[in-house]
Copies of this chain bind each other. A is one copy, B any other.
Amino acid sequence: LKIELDCFPCIFRQSLEAGRMATDDQELIREIMNEYAQMVPKIADDAMGPELGRRTQEIIKRKTGVDDPYKEYKELHIERAEKLYPEIKEIVEETDDPLFASLAVAGAGNSIDAGVSLDVDVKQKVKAGIDQGFADSNYEVFRDRLAAGASVLIVGDNSGEAVFDRLLLEQLQQVGAEVIYAVREEPILNDVTLKEAKEIGLNEKAELVTTGSRAPGLLLANATSDFRQIFDQAKLVISKGQGNYEGLSEVERPIFFLLQAKCEVIARKLGVKVGEQVFKLIE
């Protein structure tokens, strides 16, 4: 997806948020914001959102020397999610359709997103996710295509939600799917990298790969050839979160997009309301 005008103020706010995570030096944060502002007129109208996000976070890393501004934030959210995990696992496994419930939880976990808002009642969101399901769902198509032995590529998004992705990986394993879980190449916002994925133990449930993309949303143009091959060969692809949707929604292959609409721009594209979640096949 190309950026819309609304993205500029939103990512400006994000630059402030991330700047504050990286440093307490108000002058330095102001310099970061000034540099973002100076960059705005140079951004092409057809730039991609994740690319603007990547360039913004690069300013912060360069100016502050902090390679992973969201480190503590990610740890806190993983910890919180781990605390909730046993209870959520029980709820999922007791439903009539645990695969569906695990998808709903994996989507609801997407509300733990530093890029949009830091303040979220995760438990309430996850439970509501199971109860309400999806505003737009292609779950039945997914289930039909998920024959035993199918290969599923999941493109991960935020670190906190990756804890709940374990439930989805378990459910996919139970139907005999081989799962590959893709993470960001380097720290970007609160997105999951190899470090967090291993900490969470996703390596025990899936093969972990990095994409090569350093943006807060997968841009195939920046992906490694190894990842491109995995992406092209996977029978099913689940893309999690808004950033990956922005990067992948116009790619020519069937992809199931699992995300919450967190802003008006994306909600409008998806035809849902802000806050609603979808499991939408685009092919």
Residues of chain A touching chain B, judged by Cβ–Cβ distance below 8 Å, are 5-6, 8-10, 12-13, 16, 26, 29-30, 33-34, 37-38, 40-41, 45
Contact = CB atoms under 8 A, between A and B. Distances in A.
A41 to B, nearest CB: 4
A33 B8 contact: yes
A40 B33 contact: yes
Contacts of A33: 5, 8, 40
Nearest to A45: B30
A132 B29 CA distance: 38
A10 B234 CA distance: 42
Interface residues of chain A: helix, strand, loop or mixed (majority):
helix
A40 to B, nearest CB: 4
Of A12, A37, A41, chain B has the most CB atoms within 10 Å of the CB of A37
A16 B12 contact: no
Contact of A9 (B5, B12, B38, B45): B12
Contact of A38 (B8, B10, B16, B37): B37
Choose among A16, A29, A33, A40 the residue with the greatest number of B CB atoms under 10 Å from its CB. Answer: A40
Contacts of A45: 30
Contacts of A6: 13, 16
A173 to B, nearest CB: 43
B29 A40 contact: no
A9 B9 CA distance: 5
Contacts of A12: 8-9, 12
Contact of A41 (B8, B9, B37): B37
Contacts of A37: 8, 37-38, 40-41
Contacts of A34: 40-41
Interface centre among A5, A6, A29, A38 (most CB of B within 10 A): A5
28 contacts: A5-B16, A5-B26, A5-B29, A5-B30, A5-B33, A6-B13, A6-B16, A8-B12, A8-B16, A8-B33, A8-B37, A9-B9, A9-B10, A9-B12, A9-B13, A9-B16, A10-B13, A12-B12, A30-B45, A33-B40, A34-B40, A34-B41, A37-B37, A37-B38, A37-B40, A37-B41, A38-B38, A38-B41
Contacts of A13: 6, 9-10
Contacts of A29: 5
Counting from the closest, the 10 A-B pairs by CB-CB distance are A37-B40, A9-B13, A34-B41, A9-B12, A37-B37, A9-B9, A12-B12, A5-B16, A8-B33, A37-B41
A197 B218 CA distance: 53
A68 B186 CA distance: 47
Contacts of A10: 9, 13
